[in-house]
Structure 1
Amino acid sequence: MSNAVEPQTNPTSQGKQKKPFDLFQFLYKYGTIITIVALIIIFYIANPLFLQPSNIINILRSISIVTIIAIGLTISLSVNGFDLSIGSVASLSNAVVISMFIWYSQSTVIAISTAILAALVIGALNAFLIVKVRIPDMLLTLAMMFIVQGIALTYTRGATISENMIMADGNYATGEISNAFGMLGKVPWIIIIMLITVVVVHIFLTYTKHGRYMYVIGGNQEAARLSGIPVKKYKVIAYLLSAFFASIGGIVLASRVMTAEINAGGPYLMDAVAAAFIGLSVLGAGKPNAFGTFVGACLIGILANGLVMLSVPYYAMDIVKGTVFALALALTYYKMK
């Protein structure tokens, strides 16, 4: 009779077995970062001036307005909302703040406050129609995009507002844009404003109970309601903040160009949407977040700047940009089931 003892397996060691490397999970978490690094290497090889400090500052300056506007969209996404009116709100704020200086000779504080107030009115209207009337957010904000764009065009009479412009009565405008306001759109202040916006919203969404409530609402609105979270209140706050940051973006844009162009904020809408959605999965976040949105905006800025430095024809830029965005989204969103 054999007294040999059968080898015993150690359940602890079995539990500590390493999981096989998951390529798709890795790409989901780091796809956007990989794309940015690849673009930097490609553009640097093609033109070593790409990594000059002056060009890096130029990239940061170029993405500042997009990032600020996209941060507002990120907040609306956190409650599972969507705000397509941000570009038009930026245009309206741009027109209002410049007109306060040129047409009415107001101070910097009054000009900025009036522009923000106008945006908050639009945000409150969006919130009311979405939360109370229950119009789907995408459809409502699409309609508001055209309405606000029309309001801005009507307010400016379809003209560019600038110093010494000819008024309707034939006289020249006597108002002037203050030097203090003009500094907001210059380096380093425009970059500082962007970074402060990113940090503040990141802290708000990640480390405060209000931000966590917004994420809970975005994940499961009914569960949030049953747990006692005032869902309607936080959705209203989200749309107000979305309009607020769109307004800040429009104001900074006005300071940068020192005029109010027709539909000035419109071109920023799609870049802001791309930045916010690309940022959803940065570092595996899986949810709207300020840092991810900033990284998404960096991808957009690096791509646009590199294409210009390579003298890519303007009519081909959208093809290249769209292709790279699609690849970045494919890397970050494709996951094995």
Structure 2
Amino acid sequence: MKSCSMLLEAKRMQERKNNQALLFIKDWAIVLAVILLIIIFTVTIPNFMQTNNVLNILRSISIVTIIAVGLTVSLSVNGFDLSIGSTATLANSVVVSMFVWFSMPTGVSILVAILAVLCVALFNAFLIVKVKIPDLFATLATMFIVEGVAMTYTGGGSISAGMPRLDGTPTEGRISDFFLLLSKTPWIILIMLVIVMLVHVFLTYTKHGRFLYAVGGNEEAAKLSGIPVNRYKMIAYIFSAVLAGIGGLLLASQIGSAQINAGAGYLMPAVAAAFIGQSFAGHGKPNAIGTLFGAALVGILENGLVMLSVPYYSLNIIKGLVLAFALASTYYSRKK
């Protein structure tokens, strides 16, 4: 009998150890995946970990991360902002037009672009909070509206220094050197890291961040607790739009012009980064640090595959599989 009880106890201890190991892997899967990719690419690509390439990866994920962190805040209230790509395009178009068409100084140009994206945030909040349209459908409508507004504003074309205005009037404005400097290394990387840390502190260590999570966790319970749910939903969409706008500003700084649907390509990578990052450190909820790691995972994977000469048209297949695997592991563990 004594030997049987000892065997049972040993079995229980082994099961606990196995469960702890599985829990550790689940909680830190993103970090482990990033480390694994770095090891694989370092072994197969001799110059993968050179300083220039590491900085190139960080620079390449900066805009995606900033936009994705904004999406993360909207996810914290159990929302979803599909208009972030169009909002980035709008900011891109407005800020360049202020420089080129109206010869405005840097501060005024940036301010006007931020005011434009704030209008998008307020429109989203109106549809969701007042009209009671579900977040997904409301922001889908906003995505098309803002995309159309941006294209109408630019006349369906690009804006760059030296190009005439829509009516043929010549332009003399130039994008300022200071604005162009924002997208250079290391400034764009520092901007990304500062934004990630500020949003992380806001969501994790302030009462407003806890209220956002409370609204996302159970809206009715949040109302009964006295939390102004509508106000915090509005705050979430303001964060989402402003950070998408900052992403659009940095994109304008990077390419030095306004392009048609310039921000559209950032929607899905931002969604991938935000959702992949939810499982970071066992949070199981949207968080800024996890979003950064999610963007890094996709960025490292894409950079390594390009250096291995994988055809560009195959990259989306691999990135899609990584996203599917990350989401499957997150949601499967939630149901268990």
* TM-score (norm: length of structure 2): 0.93
- Larger Cα-atom Rg: 1
Equivalent position to 1:46, from 44, 52, 65: 44
Q: What residue is the counterpart of 1:123 in the other structure?
A: 121
Q: Distance in 2 between matches of 1:300 and 1:217?
A: 29
Q: What residue is the counterpart of 1:197 in the other structure?
A: 195
Equivalent position to 1:218, from 207, 216, 219: 216
Contact residue 95 and residue 152 of structure 1 kept, 8 A: yes
Query: How far has the Cα of 1:216 moved from its partner?
Result: 0.7
Contact residue 24 and residue 334 of structure 1 kept, 8 A: no
Q: What residue is the counterpart of 2:146 in the other structure?
A: 148
Question: Residues 235-254 of structure 1 correspond to what in structure 2 (within 5 A)?
Answer: 235-254=233-252
Q: Distance in 2 between matches of 1:233 and 1:204?
A: 16
Look up the SS of the partner of 1:172 in the other structure: coil
Which ranges of structure 2 fall in alignment gaps of 5 or more residues?
none
Q: What residue is the counterpart of 2:59 in the other structure?
A: 61
Letter in 1 for 2:140: L
Q: What residue is the counterpart of 1:209 in the other structure?
A: 207
Per mean C-alpha deviation after superposition, the further-off stretch among 139-148 and 34-43 is 34-43
Per mean C-alpha deviation after superposition, the further-off stretch among 35-44 and 194-203 is 35-44
* Greater per-residue helix proportion: 2
Q: Distance in 2 between matches of 1:140 and 1:168?
A: 31
Q: What residue is the counterpart of 2:253 in the other structure?
A: 255
Equivalent position to 2:18, from 5, 16, 21: 21
Distance 1:17 1:44, change over 3 A: closer
Look up the SS of the partner of 1:48 in the other structure: coil
Per mean C-alpha deviation after superposition, the further-off stretch among 257-266 and 311-320 is 311-320
Look up the SS of the partner of 2:69 in the other structure: helix
Q: Distance in 2 between matches of 1:84 and 1:151?
A: 16
Letter in 2 for 1:21: N
Q: Distance in 2 between matches of 1:87 and 1:121?
A: 15
Contact residue 119 and residue 247 of structure 1 kept, 8 A: yes
Q: Distance in 1 between matches of 2:330 and 2:27?
A: 6
Q: What residue is the counterpart of 2:171 in the other structure?
A: 173
Query: How far has the Cα of 1:24 moved from its partner?
Result: 4.2
Query: How far has the Cα of 1:20 moved from its partner?
Result: 3.5
Distance 1:46 1:228, change over 3 A: same
Aligned length: 326
Q: What residue is the counterpart of 2:314 in the other structure?
A: 316
Letter in 2 for 1:253: L
Q: What residue is the counterpart of 2:263 in the other structure?
A: 265
Letter in 2 for 1:206: T
Contact residue 85 and residue 142 of structure 1 kept, 8 A: yes
- Residue 230 of structure 1 pairs with residue 228 of structure 2: yes
Q: What residue is the counterpart of 1:163 in the other structure?
A: 161
* TM-score (norm: length of structure 1): 0.93
Q: What residue is the counterpart of 2:298 in the other structure?
A: 300
Per mean C-alpha deviation after superposition, the further-off stretch among 324-333 and 172-181 is 324-333
Q: Distance in 2 between matches of 1:331 and 1:65?
A: 26
Letter in 2 for 1:135: I
Q: Distance in 1 between matches of 2:207 and 2:13?
A: 37
Q: Distance in 2 between matches of 1:170 and 1:145?
A: 29
Contact residue 28 and residue 334 of structure 1 kept, 8 A: no
Q: Distance in 1 between matches of 2:231 and 2:328?
A: 35
Contact residue 28 and residue 333 of structure 1 kept, 8 A: no
Q: What residue is the counterpart of 2:181 in the other structure?
A: 183
Letter in 1 for 2:222: A
Q: Distance in 1 between matches of 2:39 and 2:261?
A: 35
Query: How far has the Cα of 1:318 moved from its partner?
Result: 1.1
Equivalent position to 1:92, from 81, 90, 98: 90
Query: How far has the Cα of 1:323 moved from its partner?
Result: 1.8
